[in-house]
């Protein structure tokens, strides 16, 4: 069970790079994927790869079968907590630096 402070989300950019890597690993082209998924044009595949959008569940299912992986292996997740934690740590360091400077000024006076 995930706690609220460790909520996971799908990282579009990393997922796109992962999909592209898996397509290349299997030796397929974007046109091949377009054909397998019965897409009228290759644009959706390019948009997935660029991390602009995610494939629909139907497309994820077929793509996973074509690439011989589980659907979950196509998706790359990240934790919002790590993003928040990095920002919190940065702010804490900034505050501590300011406190340290004030302390040194007080001590010198």
Query: In terms of Cα–Cα distance, which of 20, 40, 17, 18 is closest to 30?
Result: 20
DSSP type of residue 47: H
59-102 residue pLDDT tens? 999 999 999 999 999 999 886 655 666 777 778 888 887 777 77
Q: Which residues are 9's β-sheet partners?
A: 78
Overall size of the chain counted in residues: 109
Query: What's the predicted TM-score (pTM) here?
Result: 0.67
**Residue 46 in contact with residue 30, Cβ under 8 Å?**
yes
5-52 residue pLDDT tens? 556 788 899 999 999 999 999 999 999 999 999 999 999 999 999 999
């Amino acid at each position: 069970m995930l706690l609220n402070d460790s909520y996971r989300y799908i990282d579009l950019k990393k997922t796109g790079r992962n999909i592209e890597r898996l397509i290349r690993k299997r030796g397929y082209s974007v046109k091949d994927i377009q054909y397998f998924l019965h897409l009228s044009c290759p644009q959706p595949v390019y948009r997935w790869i660029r991390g602009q959008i995610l494939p629909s569940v139907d497309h994820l299912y077929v793509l996973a079968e074509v690439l011989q992986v589980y659907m979950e292996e196509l998706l790359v997740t990240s934790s919002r907590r790590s993003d928040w934690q990095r920002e919190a740590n940065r702010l804490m360091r900034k505050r501590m630096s300011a406190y340290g400077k004030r302390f040194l000024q007080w001590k010198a006076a």
